[in-house]
Amino acid sequence: MDTPYIHTVNWSVMATRAHKGRGAVSAPAGRFERRPVELDAEFAHELAQEALQTNLRAMRTGRIVSTNASPDVPFDRSINPYRGCEHGCVYCYARPTHSYLDLSPGLDFETEIFYKPDAAARLLSTWEKAGYVCKPIAIGANTDPYQPAERTLEITRRLLEAFLEHRHPVMLITKSHLVRRDLDLLTELAALNLCSVAISVPTMNDELKRIMEPRVPSAASRLKALRELSENGIPTSALIAPVVPAVNDDEIETILGAVADAGADRARYVFLRLPHELLDIFSAWLERHFPDRRERVLSLVRQAGGGRAYDSRFGVRQSGRGPYAEMLGKRFRTACRKLGLESESYQHELDCTRFLRPGKRQLGLDFTAP
């Protein structure tokens, strides 16, 4: 993938503070930072008082479909129409990827957004290859395909149009009710067993949502989207992602009850993951919003990581280990069982036999000579 080299001011000298509509309260340098720019304290303070604007940047795409060999995710192919995410979820495990652009995984991740205008064209090019084998592709595994920029850019919608035209199975993962805009396409895909939608609802508490995932629609809006999708025959599932110790772990049963009532037939949870720079970003957020329980939260995170803030091993990274993590798992599975929710996977079985390779379709034209 061709990515631009972008360098912006390193705000790490600024004191942490909450910015309206933003999740991170800091902008630490990325781990690959090559040319950090230091600001004097007075100028840094002036910048801190300004409203942070979102910058959208087009990026040229080389390979649009990413692959993985992770046994703990229900797909091995994914597309991310965007890099960075304006939703501003402070816990987002994708934040450290902004370091590869020489940008901060903190505030830059939610203000410097890159989009892929040629995503649909690159996808068709992938499908045209003779050796391509059809398997479900997830959209939104890293950053949200329905973040605010999608309202006008419609990159995700153009991708869905391609999936429908060529009868290719697709799975959507989102936190946004904007998915309802594409109900027409999703309904047609679902009628052919070609799509499913997973919506993440990590909290029902509006005040917590406001500081933890500031630009994500309310839980009520997401539940409404779940219900509408389900009522239109679209397979839906719910994610509690992430479960944050001593912050939202008391809501597991409440959230599961709400998503089951909205029509989801399966659910999955993901334990808080803090890779690379995310540990410092999340710690600063805790210090700003929950100073009284910061050490308690981080202590439970370390317990679930075997003494470390993050255990990246397959089979452990999404659920943690140890007594506290096991207790969460038991609570989740018990609640799912009572509610009739499948708890082993949030992926539905989709049909891979209908795929129509681009350029290989039977057009059915009548070439009768005049």
- pLDDT bracket for residue 38 (50, 70, 90): very low
- Which helix (H) or strand (E) covers residue 144, if one does? none
Cis previous bond, 117, omega within 30: no
Amino acid at 54: T
Residue 255 sits at the vertex; the CA angle it makes with 249 and 256, to the nearest 5 degrees, is: 110
24 lies in a domain? no
35 lies in a domain? no
pLDDT above 70 (res 128) = yes
pLDDT above 80 (res 43) = no
Predicted local confidence at residue 235, as pLDDT: 97
Q: Count up the domains in the chain and report the number.
A: 1
Distance of alpha carbon 364 from alpha carbon 253, whole angstroms:
54
257 lies in a domain? yes
CB 203 within 8 A of CB 238: no
- pLDDT bracket for residue 370 (50, 70, 90): very low
pLDDT above 60 (res 236) = yes
Query: Does 265 or 318 have the greater pLDDT score?
Result: 265
278 is written with which tokens?
Answer: 């995310």
141 lies in a domain? yes
Q: What is the pLDDT of residues 292-314, one digit of tens each?
A: 999 999 999 999 888 877 776 76
- Provide the residue range defining the domain that includes 142: 51-339
167 lies in a domain? yes
134 lies in a domain? yes
133 lies in a domain? yes
Q: What is the pLDDT of residues 64-80, one digit of tens each?
A: 998 877 766 777 899 99
Biggest distance spanned by C-alpha atoms of the chain? 84
Distance of alpha carbon 155 from alpha carbon 162, whole angstroms:
11
Q: What is the pLDDT of residues 130-180, one digit of tens each?
A: 899 999 999 998 899 999 999 999 999 999 999 999 999 999 999 999 999
Distance of alpha carbon 135 from alpha carbon 293, whole angstroms:
44
Predicted local confidence at residue 89, as pLDDT: 95
Q: Would you call 174 helix, strand, or coil by DSSP? A: strand
In eight-state DSSP terms, residue 51 is P
Q: Would you call 91 helix, strand, or coil by DSSP? A: coil
The pLDDT of 205-224, averaged and rounded, is: 96
Average pLDDT, the chain: 85
Predicted local confidence at residue 26, as pLDDT: 57
Predicted local confidence at residue 20, as pLDDT: 62
- Among residues 30, 32, 178, 319, which one has the least CA distance to residue 160? 178
pLDDT above 50 (res 129) = yes
pLDDT above 70 (res 36) = no
Phi, psi of 49 (to 5 degrees): -85, -15
**Residue 227 CB neighbours (<10 A):** 16
The pLDDT of 13-37, averaged and rounded, is: 54
The pLDDT of 226-254, averaged and rounded, is: 97
- pLDDT bracket for residue 18 (50, 70, 90): low
Predicted local confidence at residue 212, as pLDDT: 96
Q: What is the pLDDT of residues 339-357, one digit of tens each?
A: 999 987 777 899 999 999 9
Distance of alpha carbon 45 from alpha carbon 68, whole angstroms:
42
Query: Does 234 or 307 have the greater pLDDT score?
Result: 234
The pLDDT of 16-23, averaged and rounded, is: 61
- pLDDT bracket for residue 49 (50, 70, 90): very low
pLDDT above 80 (res 17) = no
CATH number for the domain spanning 69: value is 3.20.20.70
Query: Does 104 or 90 have the greater pLDDT score?
Result: 90
CB 226 within 8 A of CB 302: no
348 lies in a domain? no
Question: In sequence order, which residues have a C-beta less than 8 Å from that of residue 176 and are 6 or more positions away?
Answer: 87, 144, 146, 147, 216, 217, 222, 225
Predicted local confidence at residue 309, as pLDDT: 75
Distance of alpha carbon 163 from alpha carbon 179, whole angstroms:
15
Distance of alpha carbon 261 from alpha carbon 223, whole angstroms:
9
259 is written with which tokens?
Answer: 């998503």
